[in-house]
Amino acid sequence: MDENRMNEMTKSSERLIALIRSLPESEVDKILFLVEGTRIGSAAAEQAAKATA
């Protein structure tokens, strides 16, 4: 990954963090729930892919 792309990703991450911090706690909880579910789903899919390989 080149330096420009890394800088873009860092800026995007910083904007996303600022946005999340500006939300009410109940909305942040919903986002964290979705992120955690996505992470668990990704890990399960990865394990399934390894098992079938």
Handedness of CA 6, 15, 17, 28 (dihedral sign): negative
Q: Note the pLDDT tens digit of each residue in 8-31.
A: 999 998 998 899 889 999 998 998
Per-residue pLDDT, 11: 92
Residues of the chain with pLDDT > 70: what percent?
100
Judge whether residue 1 has pLDDT over 80.
no
Cα angle at 26 between 21 and 28, to 5 degrees? 35
More confident of the two residues 35 and 53: 35
What's this model's pTM, rounded to 2 decimal places? 0.50
Query: Helical H runs in 1-53?
Result: 3-22, 25-52
Confidence of residue 35 (pLDDT cuts 50, 70, 90): confident
Domain ranges of the chain: 24-53
Mean per-residue pLDDT over the chain, rounded: 88
DSSP 2: -
